[in-house]
Amino acid sequence: MAQTRPTQRRRFLGLGRSREEVMQRREKREKPEQPCIYFPQAPQPGEWRRSVGLVFTATPPEITEEVRVSVPAIDLNLQRGLTKNLYVVGRLQTQFIQNSLNLGLRYAMPLSEKWFVSAGYDINGWMGVLKIRDVFDAQAYGVSNYPNVSVGYRLTRTLQLMARTEAIFDFYYHSQVGSLSVDYHRPQLSGVAFAFALEQPFYKKQHVTLGIRAAYSRFNWQFWSLYETFDRPLFYPQLFFGFIL
Amino acid sequence: MKLYPIWLISLAWLLVVGCRQIYEAPVPYTGPDIPGAGKFTTSIRQSMEGVYSVTDGSDRFGDQMVVKWTYLREGNDTTYYLSMFAGTDATYFSLAGQPQVDSLALAGYWRKLSNTETGLAEFAVQMKHNGQLQNYAGRLATGDTLVISGLYNDDKAKPTRRLTLTYNRPLNPEPFAILAHRSGGRTSDLLPSSENSVEIIKLASRLGATGIEIDVRYTKDGVPILYHDNNLNLRLIQKNGLNGPIEDYTYKQLTNLVRLINGEKIPTLEEALEAVVVNTPLSFVWLDTKYIGPMAPIQAIQRKYRERAAQLGRNVQIVIGIPSTEALASYEALADKTNTPILSELDTAITRTTLNSPIWAPRWTLGPQIDEVRAMQKEGRTVFVWTLDEPQFIREFINESRFDGILSNYSTLVAYHHYTKQ
């Protein structure tokens, strides 16, 4: 016992390691051990990351009343490292007749070997077109912004967890039915969202993301055609799943 | 793949889904509303109706308001209510005269339908004569202006914030049907009464409505009742352990065991029409066909209450909605279609040729359809649009389209935009 104590103390303080060992540990901390999309760690400069999956959004009862459905959308993510800490993110969610595109920048940095953090700003544009005989002759588009902060925790070498908080700012909304159209230019804080995701190996070399997002907002682009008019945040729970390619 | 993270996510999902916030907007005003007009004689009431400019309080309620009287009859008593409609957040004021006060005094509450804001309000009616405010006694000389001045506050707080309205111009006199969806508004609009209840029918004209749409279904024993959804559910009724289709329950079971979300009984169609004809100034009822089955019992009730309205000297249109091909088949199966006004939600060809319906009601999401609307009106048909709640589109439809009326959950906003139209 008496012999091991000094060694443990030196290791704790980061002393007693060779330069190579220190460099290896730093590289390990900065370079992802496994592919990730949501985990707040920047790709290497010039490196691409991509994922494909589905996101399911449950309809709020205030809007769809007794009809409760979980609406699926195809979810594509694309990211590219710009510098050691800075990367650009893109996300396309599509239901073909309505689509949402996010473009943003993230700055990520490790706090320790296990803890990571990032801050980002995403700009979101969405649009939808509905032309159904005797029911709809409508289209709409809009712009929202999502400033966000994420915290990541690497639980094991293969399992990493992420928690994210987003503010949702609505900037612009345009809607048209037949020949009539309306515009809302007023920027407003529409709500907030909290997401929690895990990323881990799935099969052979495949990795997956599985997560939930709870948004409390005055508007949700997926439900533009229901013309919700409540000036109070409604709850939109989402479940997302993706394969990291 | 390790499975415990899946359990972690599932648990988090359950926690998240269980964290839905419940909104409420209880009316802070406890009345009582005393029957009778008090000092608000017919001529005073008529002179007060109009579009007013808002000076104090415009930051909260916009720069103009519509002021309009309505009434509620209960037996031999008539209570008069003053409604005020603002263009922001579908706001309405419901005020009643205060006969115990020795002036033209009003008290009541206000509510913003698009959110949960509400509060108490009290006003006095005065006139500005030679630049001086004086009590109004019912006579206005040239140059005199009516001023409704008072106080309001939030929730149950004593009114202390100023709200002043100055008469600007008369209401737009053009005929226009302001139709309240589900007899006043959805349960999710947090109105003081539940949708499709007798109580909200009695409130509808205070919300600006000139007519209502109600949802008709049959009980297991064939009694036509008002209920919107397919099933008994906690969106519409208080918790009682019952669920499933409403058609699985007898009228007696529903009466004894089920209460709507604000405590009311599920009304029969007859009780609803009795309230419209006897208690309210409403002049139009749209019976939305939510049932699958014979139309003859509904037709019999429709005829009975059209006759009852005529006996009371009231002009009340009661029409059966035809929203689907199933309802069309039920209508076509009627042995005798005379004296059975209908409203068609189907396309123009069916409306014209198959049904020859005097009323056509397309969805608002098809736009103003100006050519089709004009053509139908040229043939002597009335055209309504449903169910339009989006505030800016309500304004656009009233100003830019040619419909004869709008069905909305925000009849307050339709009233505001219609009566202020110049």
Kindly report, residue by residue over B304-345, the tens digit of the pLDDT.
Answer: 999 999 999 999 999 999 999 999 999 999 999 999 999 999
Domain shared by A135 and A154, yes or no? yes
Which helix H or strand E contains B420, and what residues bound it? helix B411-420
Domain shared by A20 and A73, yes or no? no
Decide if pLDDT at A26 tops 70. no
Region for residue A65 given its phi and psi (left: phi exceeds 0; alpha: psi -120 to 50; beta: otherwise): left
Q: What is the pLDDT of residue A217?
A: 95
Q: Are B345 and B328 in contact (CB under 8 A)?
A: no
Query: In this structure, is residue B3 part of a structural domain?
Result: no
* Residue position matching structure tokens 């009862």: A61
Tokens of B116: 């949960």
Residues in chain A with CB shorter than 8 Å from the CB of B229 are 65-66
Instruction: List the single range of A106-120, A134-148, B129-143, B366-380 with lowest mean pLDDT.
Output: B129-143
Residues in chain B with CB shorter than 8 Å from the CB of A154 are none
Instruction: List the single range of A46-50, A63-67, A125-129 with lowest mean pLDDT.
Output: A63-67
Domain shared by B151 and B260, yes or no? no
Query: In this structure, is residue B67 part of a structural domain?
Result: yes
% helix, strand, coil for chain A, step of 5: 15, 60, 30
Domain shared by A6 and A80, yes or no? no
Domain shared by B212 and B351, yes or no? yes
Closest CB from A136, A137, A227 relative to B389:
A227
Query: In this structure, is residue B86 part of a structural domain?
Result: yes
Domain shared by A182 and A111, yes or no? yes
Domain shared by B255 and B328, yes or no? yes
Tens digit of each residue's pLDDT, chain B (422 residues): 555 666 666 666 666 656 667 888 999 998 878 888 788 999 999 999 999 999 999 999 999 999 999 999 999 999 999 999 999 999 999 999 987 777 899 999 999 999 999 999 999 999 999 999 998 988 999 999 999 999 999 999 999 999 999 999 999 999 999 999 999 999 999 999 999 999 999 999 999 999 999 999 999 999 999 999 999 999 999 999 999 999 999 999 999 999 999 999 999 999 999 999 999 999 999 999 998 889 999 999 999 999 999 999 999 999 999 999 999 999 999 999 999 999 999 999 999 999 999 999 999 999 999 999 999 999 999 999 999 999 999 999 999 999 999 999 999 999 999 999 99
β-bridge pairing B317-322 and B342-344: parallel
Q: What is the pLDDT of residue A12?
A: 43
Decide if pLDDT at A13 tops 70. no
For B149-167, the pLDDT digits (tens) are 999 999 999 999 999 999 9
CA-to-CA distance for B71 and B45, rounded, in angstroms? 11
Domain shared by B157 and B231, yes or no? no
CA of A5 vs chain B CAs: smallest distance (Å): 36
Domain shared by A21 and A42, yes or no? no
CATH number at residue A168: 2.40.128
Decide if pLDDT at A173 tops 50. yes
Closest CB from A182, A214, A232 relative to B115:
A232
Q: What is the pLDDT of residue B301?
A: 98
Residues in chain B with CB shorter than 8 Å from the CB of A237 are 13, 16-17
Averaged pLDDT, A182-207: 91
Residues 6+ away with beta carbon under 8 Å from B42: none
Domain boundary among B138, B169, B200: B169
Domain shared by B94 and B139, yes or no? yes
Domain shared by B116 and B182, yes or no? no
Closest CB from A134, A180, A239 relative to B347:
A134
Q: What is the pLDDT of residue B21?
A: 75
Range of the domain at B65: 42-169
Range of the domain at A129: 33-244
Instruction: List the single range of A54-68, A98-112, A164-178, B310-324 with lowest mean pLDDT.
Output: A54-68
Q: What is the pLDDT of residue B48?
A: 97
Tokens of B121: 């309000």
Q: Are B410 and B389 in contact (CB under 8 A)?
A: yes
Residues in chain A with CB shorter than 8 Å from the CB of B394 are none
Backbone phi and psi for residue B201, each to the nearest 5 degrees, phi listed first:
-60, -40
Backbone phi and psi for residue A228, each to the nearest 5 degrees, phi listed first:
-65, 135
Q: What is the pLDDT of residue B19?
A: 64
CATH number at residue B187: 3.20.20.190
Domain shared by A23 and A142, yes or no? no
CA B420 and chain centroid, separation:
18
Domain shared by B315 and B260, yes or no? yes
CA-to-CA distance for A182 and A176, rounded, in angstroms? 6
The per-residue DSSP string of A32-51 comes to -SS--SSSS-PPPBT-EEEE
CA of A243 vs chain B CAs: smallest distance (Å): 13
Domain shared by B134 and B187, yes or no? no
Residues in chain B with CB shorter than 8 Å from the CB of A218 are none
CA of A61 vs chain B CAs: smallest distance (Å): 8
Residues 6+ away with beta carbon under 8 Å from B344: B322, B350, B351, B355, B357, B359, B360, B361
Q: How far is CA B328 from CA A200, B343, B407, in A?
A: 56, 11, 21
Q: Are A217 and A168 in contact (CB under 8 A)?
A: yes
Report ipTM (2 d.p.): 0.89
Domain shared by A110 and A214, yes or no? yes
Domain shared by B110 and B206, yes or no? no
Query: In this structure, is residue B21 part of a structural domain?
Result: no
Residue A122's nearest CA partner among A146, A94, A88 is A146
What domain count does chain B have? 2
CA of B366 vs chain A CAs: smallest distance (Å): 5
Query: In this structure, is residue B8 part of a structural domain?
Result: no
β-bridge pairing B359-360 and B382-385: parallel
Domain shared by A81 and A116, yes or no? yes
Query: In this structure, is residue B294 part of a structural domain?
Result: yes
Q: What is the pLDDT of residue B240?
A: 93
CA of A173 vs chain B CAs: smallest distance (Å): 12
Amino acid at A238: Q
Q: What is the pLDDT of residue B224?
A: 98
Domain shared by A13 and A61, yes or no? no
Q: Note whether B12 contacts A: Cβ–Cβ < 8 A.
A: yes
Domain shared by B59 and B104, yes or no? yes
Q: How far is CA A45 from CA A35, A80, A88, B319, in A?
A: 15, 7, 10, 69
- Other Cβ atoms closer than 10 A to A12: 9
Tokens of B310: 């005529």
Q: CB distance A182–B1 less than 8 Å?
A: no
Q: What is the pLDDT of residue B35?
A: 84
- Other Cβ atoms closer than 10 A to B300: 12
Query: In this structure, is residue B4 part of a structural domain?
Result: no
Domain shared by B360 and B404, yes or no? yes
Domain boundary among B137, B169, B201: B169
Q: What is the pLDDT of residue B18?
A: 60
Q: CB distance B114–A229 less than 8 Å?
A: yes
Domain shared by A152 and A186, yes or no? yes
A&B contacts, CB < 8 Å:
113
Residue of B nearest to A202 (CA): B1
Residues in chain B with CB shorter than 8 Å from the CB of A173 are none
- List b or e across B46-56, with b for residues whose CB sees 16 or more CB atoms inside 10 angstroms: ebbbbbbebeb
Domain boundary among B126, B142, B169: B169
What domain count does chain A have? 2
Domain shared by B305 and B407, yes or no? yes
Query: In this structure, is residue B106 part of a structural domain?
Result: yes
Domain shared by A73 and A117, yes or no? yes
**Strand-pair partners of B226:** B216
Decide if pLDDT at A69 tops 90. no
Domain shared by A26 and A54, yes or no? no
Q: What is the pLDDT of residue B348?
A: 97
**What band does A1 get if pLDDT is binned at 50, 70 and 90?**
very low
Decide if pLDDT at A8 tops 50. no
Q: Note whether B364 contacts A: Cβ–Cβ < 8 A.
A: yes
Task: Indicate the SS3 state at residue B88.
Answer: coil
